[in-house]
Amino acid sequence: MRKGNISLTLSYLMLIILAIGFLYPAIWVVMSSLRVGDSLFSDSLIPKQLTFIHYRDLFIEQSDKQVFFMRWFWNTLKIATTSMVLGTFIQILTAYSISRFRFYGRKTIMSLILILGMFPGFMSMIAIYIILLQLNLLNTPYALILVYTAGAALHMFVAKGFFDTIPHSLAESAQLDGASHMDVFMKIMLPLSKPMITYISLTTFTGAWVDFIFARLILRSRENWTLAVGLYELVNSYSSTEFTLFAAGAVLSSIPIAILFLFLQRFLIEGITAGANKG
């Protein structure tokens, strides 16, 4: 019995240490955002005096610092939402076609998707940059949406695994009643795949929200930036002199994603587990 208690105590001790480790950076950045002054250095974790001035500063465009936080936030939201809608649609469409139909070239397409999916798009960014230049889309949000959406189909394996588990008989009986392929997809499959759609929407939305590389490559002028580029530049160009402002920006940019994650946790776990099971 005593041995059991020791191991239990040790377990709790581990859990507490880990919890501190996991929470500390988050708490620190929230506290920094509430601190008076603008430097990285602070005497204590919890500031002696709390202030919301840095949050206010984010919403007022100041002439000496070019921090267009509102615009960046709005740009990011626009790009992420549009990419989510288009990307989810394309991903579901691809997954459904490949799961449901046995057509010529199917295995080849699947291997191709798997290989290309592991190959990050940004590696061939020189070409993407030149293509976008030719299309006259550089420095526009459309370019980013196009890039995110064009690659969406490459992440279809989780959704394909999901469609694999829906019995064929369901579609077949509907087709006997005269439903077309499109009817089956829209009226039977889509309603059944709500959890999967939630998972994919969540991942494509966050994917676009947090993407740094393409945003930095494509968006050239300050007012077109997204949060990732803006906050990176804020850290880079002012480093430790505007830290509290950055902290406030970081907190505000994290909140939407954090809320989505915590509320949709169930779908995330299902999605990740499905990804592992279906390979």
Partner 1 sequence: MGKHAKMAALLSVLFMGIGQLYNKQIIKGIIFILTEILALYLMVTMLIEKIYGLITLGSVPTHLEKVGRVYVNIPGDHSIFMLLEGLISLIILLLFISMYVSNIKDAYKNGQLREKGLNAPNFHNTIRNINDNSFPYAMLFIPGLGILLFTIVPIIFMIFLAFTNYTAPNHIPPKSLVDWVGLSTFKDLLFLKQWKNTIIGVSMWTIVWAVLSTFTCYLGGILVALLIQQKRIKFKVMWRMIYIIPYAIPQFISLLVMRNMLNYQFGPINQYLRYFGLGGLPWLNDPFWAKVTIIIVNMWIGIPSSMLLTIGLLGNIPKDLYEAADVDGASKFAKFRSITLPYILFATAPLLIMSFAFNINNFNVIYLLTEGLPANGDYVFAGSTDLLVTWLYKLALDNQRYNIASAVGLIVFILIASLSIYNFRRTKSYKEEDMVQ
Residues 153-172 that bind partner 1 (CB under 8 A): 153-154, 157, 160-161, 164-165, 167-168
Q: What type of residue is 44?
A: S
Sole binder of partner 1 in the list 62, 66, 111, 173 (CB under 8 A): 111
Restricting to residues 201-230, which ones interact with partner 1 according to CB under 8 A? Answer: 206, 209-210, 212-213, 217, 228
Sole binder of partner 1 in the list 138, 179, 190, 235 (CB under 8 A): 235
Q: What is the rounded distance in angstroms from the CA atom of residue 254 to the CA atom of residue 73? A: 11
Sole binder of partner 1 in the list 79, 152, 171, 200 (CB under 8 A): 152
119: contact with partner 1 by CB under 8 A? yes
Stretch that binds partner 1, among 55-63, 65-73, 104-112, 188-196 (CB under 8 A): 104-112
- State the minimum distance, in angstroms, from the CB of residue 49 to partner 1: 18
17: contact with partner 1 by CB under 8 A? no
For 155, other C-beta atoms within 10 Å of its C-beta total 19
Contact of 26 with 255, CB cutoff 8 Å: no
173: contact with partner 1 by CB under 8 A? no
Residue closer to partner 1 (CB basis): 63 or 206: 206
Sole binder of partner 1 in the list 69, 72, 73, 96 (CB under 8 A): 96
Give the CA-trace dihedral at 13, 16, 17, 23, to 10 degrees.
Answer: 180
54: contact with partner 1 by CB under 8 A? no
Helix (H, G, I), strand (E, B) or coil at 35: strand
Sole binder of partner 1 in the list 66, 139, 173, 180 (CB under 8 A): 180
Residue closer to partner 1 (CB basis): 68 or 233: 233
Give the CA-trace dihedral at 256, 259, 261, 267, to 10 degrees.
Answer: -120
254: contact with partner 1 by CB under 8 A? yes
Residue 181 half-sphere exposure toward CB, CA atoms < 13 A: 5
Sole binder of partner 1 in the list 79, 84, 98, 196 (CB under 8 A): 98
Q: What is the rounded distance in angstroms from the CA atom of residue 69 to the CA atom of residue 226? A: 9
